[in-house]
């Protein structure tokens, strides 16, 4: 007989694969390390003050750095940046990830992808542990935008691009 909790987790995972998400790379630095990781659990939280939340597994290096860091950056990837996302998802070791892509560094030491769709620079204002993850809330301090708007989307374990929906006649 199958475990109901395992069945629920499996069904939840299957449901979330049907939920497309913009692909981001979250970057942060502490006194000793700088790091980045691909994340899709990122969303806007409030316009007043401008803020967003990022959910990160508590077992990751990024989690440890975000706890120590005062600031972080959310880099929204464009449709041609699936290789960069893959590198930051673990295809490359942490020390080699920033070798791929047009990375720059702020005066505070935060890496940002120069040709990302957007760079959202945040000050960490709160952290809430929940289950296997932690929810980091960042108050937006600055935004950089690039054109055209062609985001990279992750849907059903595949990288995709968005297209306008065509209204039925």
- 56: pLDDT strictly greater than 80: yes
Q: How confident is the model at residue 16 (pLDDT cuts 50, 70, 90)?
A: confident
pLDDT in tens, 61-93: 999 999 999 999 999 999 999 999 999 999 999
- 166: pLDDT strictly greater than 90: no
Higher-confidence residue: 76 or 164?
76
- 112: pLDDT strictly greater than 80: yes
- Residue 126: phi, psi to the nearest 5? -160, 155
The pLDDT value recorded for residue 91 is 92
For 15, the 3-state DSSP assignment is helix
Confirm if 75 and 38 have CB atoms less than 8 A apart: no
What average pLDDT does range 18-25 have in this prediction? 92
Domains identified in the chain and CATH numbers: 22-161 (2.30.110.10)
Percent pLDDT > 70 in the chain is 98
Confirm if 110 and 32 have CB atoms less than 8 A apart: no
- In angstroms, the CA 10 to CA 84 distance is 28
- In angstroms, the CA 125 to CA 37 distance is 20
- 46: pLDDT strictly greater than 70: yes
- Model pTM score: 0.92
Tokens 């809430």, residue located:
128
Radius of gyration of the chain (CA): 17
- In angstroms, the CA 138 to CA 9 distance is 29
Confirm if 122 and 140 have CB atoms less than 8 A apart: yes
What average pLDDT does range 89-109 have in this prediction? 94
With DSSP H G I counted as helix, E B as strand and the rest as coil, what are the percentages for the chain, rounded to 5?
20, 45, 35
The pLDDT value recorded for residue 65 is 96
The pLDDT value recorded for residue 168 is 64
The pLDDT value recorded for residue 77 is 97
Q: How far is CA 118 from CA 20, 76, 100, 137, 139, in A?
A: 18, 5, 18, 18, 16
Q: How far is CA 12 from CA 40, 131, 136, in A?
A: 16, 15, 22
The pLDDT value recorded for residue 169 is 60
The pLDDT value recorded for residue 75 is 98
């Amino acid at each position: 007989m199958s475990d109901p909790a395992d069945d629920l987790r499996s069904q939840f995972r299957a449901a979330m694969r049907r939920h497309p998400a913009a692909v981001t790379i979250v970057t942060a630095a502490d006194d000793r390390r700088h790091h980045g990781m691909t994340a899709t659990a990122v969303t806007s939280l409030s316009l007043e003050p401008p803020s967003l939340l990022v959910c990160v597994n508590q077992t990751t290096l990024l989690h440890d750095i975000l706890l120590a860091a005062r600031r972080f950056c959310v880099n929204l990837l464009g449709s041609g940046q699936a290789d960069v996302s893959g590198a930051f998802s673990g295809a490359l070791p942490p020390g080699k990830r920033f070798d791929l892509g047009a990375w720059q560094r702020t005066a505070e030491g935060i890496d940002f992808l120069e040709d990302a769709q957007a760079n959202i620079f945040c000050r960490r204002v709160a952290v809430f542990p929940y289950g296997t993850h932690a929810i980091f809330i960042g108050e937006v301090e600055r935004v950089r935008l690039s054109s055209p708007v062609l985001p990279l989307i992750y849907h059903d374990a595949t990288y995709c691009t968005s297209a306008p929906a065509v209204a039925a006649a």
